[in-house]
């Protein structure tokens, strides 16, 4: 098992770019199942979760060839099986997005229960209800056995939660269905919008992109095409947080500021101001880092919300920023009942945090953090622990960094380019 050895307390600086959006790459790769023509995907992040999806698709008979730097050519001309491998689906939650296109293309999909981050119950009911609405027979035992031998048909679907992956599965299942499908209460995250635009470029017919109501008129077939994956706004948020807690001037290039409007509002409440220069976000040095109270000097609350609200995946990073800001703030994480458990590690490092319940925590700052031995429980908390270690005094050792590698490409190398003292080594090297 690999570890990160981090010496904290250094001021960083320089320019860094986000990789392609992990949460866009996985459904876009899955969507290539919907056509027998070649699809070229560019700016594909070289990370663990994407490699898992590539393995899953290759096992189904899909040809996937690296044809350039961060570029994959995908051809699903011959699909040889319709059951996903259990050992691979347990690695990545995003494997569930293969179900919709495989069902639409082949009339059958057998999908083991997906794995991914252990942050609480992550239900798939919404996915299965959407498939049933489109005419599929759904059998649930040790696996999800989906059957539509006569094809899928359009339907008016109201999702019982605004789930990103359920919305993506419903979109991909509908694009080749006969007739018109309306998906209501749809998620509208940037990667959902990107999937819709990609499918339209291949010949799909999707209206309402960016809203919570999507209208999909089924087509008989899709063609091939080329698509460049957009930047990962979660990495953009990570680098803004990094600059703030290490008092470092950092320029984030190709940051797509229009996707960061609500996150930037939250960072502003934590006393972080940025400058927008075209597609770049510049974080100046010497941030105020002071919590902005609500009217009447009331303690503010930062809550996660469906897009365009504050993303749940940025909560961990914002909490680390709050530990370095003067004032008190309540964080309310509504989606996952285990996502706040990692705060014990931050408390061990010296953060002043009151854990109210599995969903709420009060942070009182600023706190002087010190180096500790900690383990990364998931992708987002792992990145947050890196930030905490970089602003802490002394040395930190973060184990289980494979969790971080699932979502961040060569993060240690990229942070060293900014001046960070972070090294990777195996645990046996101690």
The pLDDT tens digits of the residues spanning 66-90 come to 999 999 999 999 999 999 999 998 8
Of the residues 46, 49, 87, 117, only one is catalytic, namely 117
Catalytic site includes residue 117: yes
Q: Buried b / exposed e across 54-86, counting CB within 10 Å, b at 16+? A: bbbbeebebebeeeeebebbbbbeeeeebebee
Encode pLDDT of 26-38 as tens digits.
Answer: 999 999 999 999 9
Encode pLDDT of 38-59 as tens digits.
Answer: 999 999 999 999 999 999 999 9
Tokens 């470029």 -> residue: 201
- Cβ contacts of 169 within 8 Å, gap of 6 or more: 96, 97, 99, 100, 127, 130, 131
Question: Of the candidates 222, 244, 263, which is a domain's last residue?
Answer: 222
The answer to whether the CB of 380 falls within 8 A of the CB of 405 is: no
- Is residue 332 located within the same domain as residue 418? yes
**Residue 168 CB-density burial (10 A; 0-12 exposed, 13-18 middle, 19+ buried):** buried
- Is residue 36 located within the same domain as residue 151? yes
- Is residue 15 located within the same domain as residue 153? no
pLDDT higher than 60, residue 139 = yes
Compute the distance between CA of residue 268 and CA of residue 289 in angstroms, rounded to an integer: 9
pLDDT higher than 50, residue 295 = yes
**Whole-number pLDDT of residue 121:** 45
- Is residue 203 located within the same domain as residue 308? no
Task: Supply the range of the domain harboring residue 419.
Answer: 2-19+231-429
pLDDT higher than 60, residue 116 = no
Q: Give the residue-averaged pLDDT of 283-289.
A: 96
- Is residue 55 located within the same domain as residue 15? no
Domains in the chain: how many in total? 2
- Is residue 11 located within the same domain as residue 43? no
**Whole-number pLDDT of residue 122:** 56
| CATH number assigned to the domain comprising residue 190 | 3.65.10.10
Instruction: Give the dihedral sign, CA 64/66/68/72.
Output: positive
Q: Give the residue-averaged pLDDT of 283-311.
A: 96
Encode pLDDT of 8-30 as tens digits.
Answer: 999 999 999 999 999 999 999 99
pLDDT higher than 60, residue 347 = yes
Q: Buried b / exposed e across 132-163, counting CB within 10 Å, b at 16+? A: ebbbbeeeeeebbbbbbeeebbbbebebeebb
- Is residue 166 located within the same domain as residue 252? no
**Whole-number pLDDT of residue 43:** 98
Q: Give the residue-averaged pLDDT of 219-241.
A: 97
Tokens representing 263? 């996150």
- Cβ contacts of 235 within 8 Å, gap of 6 or more: 18, 19, 408
pLDDT band for position 115 (50/70/90)? Answer: low
Tokens representing 10? 């250094």
What predicted TM-score, i.e. pTM, was given to this entire model?
Answer: 0.93
Give the pairing type, strands 14-16 and 250-252.
parallel
pLDDT higher than 50, residue 135 = yes
Q: Give the residue-averaged pLDDT of 334-351.
A: 89
């Amino acid at each position: 098992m690999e570890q990160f050895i981090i010496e904290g307390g250094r001021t960083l600086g320089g320019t860094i770019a986000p990789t392609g959006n992990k949460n866009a790459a996985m459904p876009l790769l899955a969507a290539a199942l919907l056509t027998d023509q070649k699809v070229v995907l560019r700016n594909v992040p070289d990370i663990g979760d994407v490699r898992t999806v590539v393995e899953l698709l290759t096992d189904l008979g899909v040809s996937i060839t690296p044809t350039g730097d961060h570029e994959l050519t995908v051809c699903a001309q011959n699909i040889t099986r319709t059951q996903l491998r259990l050992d691979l689906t347990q690695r990545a939650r995003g494997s569930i997005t293969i179900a919709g296109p495989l069902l639409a293309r082949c009339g059958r999909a057998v999908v083991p229960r997906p794995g991914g981050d252990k942050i609480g119950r992550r239900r798939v009911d919404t996915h299965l209800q959407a498939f049933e609405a489109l005419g599929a027979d759904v059998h649930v035992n040790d696996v999800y056995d989906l059957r539509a031998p006569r094809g899928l048909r359009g339907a008016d679907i109201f999702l019982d939660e605004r789930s990103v992956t359920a919305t993506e599965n419903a979109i991909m299942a509908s694009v080749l269905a006969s007739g018109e499908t309306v998906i209501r209460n749809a998620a509208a995250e940037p990667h959902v919008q990107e999937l819709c635009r990609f499918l339209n470029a291949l010949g799909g017919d999707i209206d309402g992109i960016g809203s919570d109501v999507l209208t999909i008129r089924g087509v008989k077939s899709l063609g091939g095409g080329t698509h460049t994956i957009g930047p990962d706004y979660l990495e953009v948020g990570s680098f803004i947080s990094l600059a703030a807690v290490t008092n470092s001037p950092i320029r984030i290039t190709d940051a797509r500021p229009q996707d960061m409007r609500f996150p930037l509002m939250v960072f502003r409440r934590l006393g972080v101001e940025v400058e927008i220069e075209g597609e770049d976000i510049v974080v100046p040095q010497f941030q105020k880092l002071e919590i902005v109270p609500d009217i009447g000097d009331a303690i503010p609350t930062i809550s996660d919300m469906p897009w365009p609200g504050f993303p749940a995946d940025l909560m961990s990073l914002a909490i680390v920023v709050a530990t370095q800001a003067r004032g008190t703030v309540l964080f309310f994480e509504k989606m996952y009942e285990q996502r706040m458990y990692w705060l014990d590690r931050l408390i061990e490092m010296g953060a002043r945090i009151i854990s109210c319940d599995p969903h709420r925590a009060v942070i009182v700052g600023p706190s002087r953090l010190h180096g500790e031995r900690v383990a990364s429980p998931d992708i987002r908390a792992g990145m947050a622990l890196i930030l905490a270690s970089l602003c802490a005094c002394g040395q930190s050792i973060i184990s289980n960094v494979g969790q971080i590698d699932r979502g961040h490409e060569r993060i240690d190398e990229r942070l060293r380019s900014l001046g960070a003292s972070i090294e990777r080594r195996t645990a046996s090297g101690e």
